[in-house]
A and B are shown apart, each in its own frame.
Chain A
Amino acid sequence: MGVLIFLLKTYMVFLMLVLLLYIIRHYTFTLNRALGKQRLYYQDVLDEDLPTVSVLVPMHNEEKVARHILDLLVASDYPKEKLEIIPINDHSKDRTKEILEEYAQRYPFIRPLHRYGDLPRGKQNGLNDALKIAKGEVIIVYDADYLPPKGQIRILAVAFKDPQVGAVMGRVVPINAEKNLLTRLLDIERSGGYQVDQQARYNLNLIPQYGGTVGGFRKRLVIELGGFDARILAEDTELTYKLYLNGYKVAYANIAECYEEAPESWNVRARQLRRWARGHNQVMFKYFIPTILSKNLNFWQKIDGLLLLAIYMQSFLIFLGLLDSLLLFFLGEMEITSSYLFLLFMFAHNSFGNFAPFFEIGTALVLDGAKQKVFLLPLMFFEFIFNIIYASLGFFDALIDLITKRTIIWQKTERFRNA
């Protein structure tokens, strides 16, 4: 029993230390964004020698949204002789195929890729196939529910003039923010994630993340690095690490704002979150050691890289911590240590740990000029609990993937928009 209690207490101390690291991280990012030097993106580089671009739009049963994104891409101000659009129709059973063919007939630069039969489903598989036919030097990816503004492809593509840039990432904004409680919470969560978190990581020369949509990468480079791993659901996170481990960086374009459709039901959000957590943890299992050993990352990039890799495992660790504390309570062993240092950790966690991400979101909302939205922050507590549950399940999924090497099945996020 003594050994068990010792292990339970040790885990609590370990968890406190991990959370303390994340607290420091969140506060560093927030303070940098609020008060620090802001790194310039490349949107002001005007250049007539732009790279050729292939825009890939993975689609599975997207009849509700396909026309919207295609109309906006057609209206793009990017020189049409340097642009091709490849919607990837991935085993759609609705009218997606007909819609794409209709657009392909009207616009010669739209070249749909239809994937049916034995071809494995999934975004990463679709992207790998599209890379084989894409003619552009630069690949820009949009999910089908996105609404890119007229000048956005140019803003994203111009980053690749910098030879150090391997990928670029824009900012995601839910268009249906006012729909219900969930979409409102996702809206403010996205604000924190992009306006503060991503921008601060870009400012501090850490690891801004390529997010798989409203972003792009160099085609040649990704092909040289072996394309996307079909066994990994978070192809975007994987690419981020591949690039950094090979000496390239991800540029973050806060100005490249793009509307998306956020999930409107908790069931859909749960599935999306579980898939993200699963994919992200798959990447963690694959890249944790290479990140530590990399010679292309500096010390702070390694720290940030490891914390970013473990971000979806954090929920699982907190979940274990809750169980641990319950056990310790019923065993009557609540006194873990009498050290004042531990008290400091307790205060740190209780005072800041719960609130640091919220503080980050609050700062983002102020920067966005959305000050009334700050009042919603206390409700994030419920989403926090929700995230712990579904991100933990995603962690288990990834663990089982690692052990059993089972086949990955892609689960598409349901759309809510009227066609």
Chain B
Amino acid sequence: MPEVVLLVALFSILLFLPFVPPLIELFLKRDAKPIPIDLERKKEPDYFGKSFINLLATALKDLKIQEVEKPNPVYLKLKLNREEWVGFLNDEKLAESTMDAPVIFTKDTVFLQNHTFKRELVVFGNAVFKNTCLARSLYVKGDCVIKAPLRIARWVHVEGNLLINSNADLGVSVYAREMKIRGWTTFKRAYAKKIDTSDEPLIDKKNVERTINLQGNFGITGSITIGGKERPVFVDGDIFCDGDVQIEGDVWIKGNVFSQESITLKNGVVIGIEGKVKSVVARGEILIEGPFRIYGYIHSEKRVEASP
């Protein structure tokens, strides 16, 4: 008899054992909420810079900040994402070679020395980088000129124009009014009214004859190569491609270019129309070689590499 009871008990335990963890979770509700969805979420190419500067503005709202005149950095404890020290400087010489806190330069700044800014670097004015610098993120209120190698880990937000004359790794996200790439540059996505790699007039600003005109939007299941070496090609529409996209020469795509693989744009390609936002988007790499111009947005899940 005791054996029977033991067996029944053992059977019951083994039968219900798989349901013990679920019942614990059901009653304790350790993870009962649905996945979070931000109802305010929308696509904003300037999201990072705007969010940071809004945080900063909110933190500074109740503080009376005068122009920093003393030849010392001023540190204020501000609540950004968390409460932390933020440095306010008016001269690049005051910055140490490695800065651990977010740093704000209150006027036009020329960076003549090597610096590593482990947190956000903000310039309320124009910024010129004449020596190698590293920063987590960069916000510039005015124009920004990069004349020496610059490496940014996260985002770059330039309210004015961004001119890149040196090698630059601009991180994940770049936002500027206009972006002139004149040195080897890499990033993951960039948004500007105009992004170009050359000053010379390209096909959208030239008088050309014997053009090949293609109308409409194109959905391509394989790969595509468009060559404008022999005759200029105008595509008045979008290109959506499952494979690789290779465009070379005098080719003007007036719409978007989208690829599930990689995109190569070489020697004179123009994307979009001045005054309108269009996109080049790829799951793989986007390689830009030689003269190129886009009005709008470039996005790669891997990286964009531009060699003017």
Contact = CB atoms under 8 A, between A and B. Distances in A.
Interface of A: 39-40, 42-49, 72, 77, 147, 149-151, 154-155, 161-165, 173-175, 177-178, 181, 184, 187, 191, 205, 257-259, 368-373, 375-379
Given A184-B32, A368-B35, A373 B217 contact: no
B80 interface: no
B300 to A, nearest CB: 9
B253 to A, nearest CB: 13
24 contacts: A40-B282, A42-B258, A44-B43, A44-B281, A44-B299, A147-B39, A151-B43, A155-B43, A161-B217, A161-B240, A161-B258, A163-B216, A173-B35, A173-B37, A175-B34, A205-B242, A257-B37, A258-B37, A370-B31, A370-B35, A372-B25, A372-B31, A377-B22, A378-B19
A379 B18 CA distance: 9
Contacts of A378: 18-19, 21-22
A66 B14 CA distance: 49
Contacts of A369: 35
Given A46-B45, A150-B39, A379 B296 contact: no
Contact of A45 (B218, B260, B281): B281
Contacts of A178: 29, 32-34
B258 A162 contact: yes
Most buried by A among B35, B260, B277, B281: B35
Nearest to B254: A49
A258 B36 CA distance: 10
A47 B277 contact: yes
B281 A373 contact: no
Contact of B189 (A43, A44, A77, A150): A44
Nearest to B24: A375
A161 B25 contact: no
Given A162-B258, A163-B218, A46 B297 contact: yes
A49 B256 CA distance: 10
A46 B38 contact: no
B262 to A, nearest CB: 12
Contact of B22 (A47, A258, A379): A379
Contact of A161 (B21, B238, B242, B297): B238
Contacts of B216: 163
A46 B19 contact: no
A173 B39 CA distance: 13
- List 3 tightest A-B contacts by C-beta distance, closest first: A151-B42, A372-B31, A178-B32
Contacts of A49: 255, 276
A371 B45 CA distance: 32
Contacts of A371: 31
A152 B211 CA distance: 39
Contacts of B242: 205
A377 B20 CA distance: 11
Given A40-B260, A48-B277, A376 B37 contact: no
A40 B257 CA distance: 13
B173 to A, nearest CB: 11
Most buried by B among A72, A155, A369, A378: A378
B30 A372 contact: yes
Contact of A163 (B33, B35, B219): B219
Contacts of B24: 375
Contact of B256 (A45, A177, A187): A45
Given A77-B42, A161-B255, A177-B33, 18 more contacts: A39-B260, A40-B301, A46-B45, A46-B277, A46-B296, A47-B277, A48-B277, A48-B278, A149-B39, A161-B240, A161-B258, A162-B217, A162-B219, A163-B240, A164-B221, A165-B219, A376-B22, A379-B26
Given A40-B281, A44-B279, A154-B43, A163 B26 contact: no
A164 B260 contact: no
Nearest to A72: B39
A46 B279 contact: yes
A295 to B, nearest CB: 15
A163 B30 CA distance: 45
Interface in B1-52: 18-19, 21-22, 24-26, 29-35, 37-43, 45
B283 interface: yes
Given A150-B42, A154-B43, A162-B240, A46 B191 contact: yes
Nearest to B42: A151
Contacts of A42: 258, 281
Interface string B262-306: 000000000000001111011100000000000011010100000
A205 B221 CA distance: 10
Contacts of A47: 255-256, 277-279, 296
A373 B301 CA distance: 30
A230 to B, nearest CB: 32
A245 to B, nearest CB: 17
Contacts of A72: 39
Contacts of A44: 43, 189, 279, 281, 297, 299
A77 B39 CA distance: 11
Contacts of A257: 35, 37
Most buried by A among B26, B31, B217: B31
Given A47-B256, A375-B21, A151 B41 contact: yes
A88 B26 CA distance: 38
A46 B219 contact: no
A150 B40 contact: yes
B31 A259 contact: no
Given A45-B256, A46-B43, A177 B34 contact: yes
A73 to B, nearest CB: 12
Interface string B188-228: 01010000000000000000000000001111010000000
B35 A149 contact: no
A259 B217 CA distance: 33
B247 to A, nearest CB: 17
Contacts of A40: 260, 281-283, 301
Contacts of B260: 39-40
Nearest to B18: A378
A355 B40 CA distance: 38
A371 B21 CA distance: 13
Contacts of B219: 162-165
A161 B256 contact: yes
Interface in B233-266: 238, 240, 242, 255-256, 258, 260
Contacts of B301: 40
A164 B240 contact: yes
B277 A150 contact: no
A299 to B, nearest CB: 15
Contacts of A377: 22
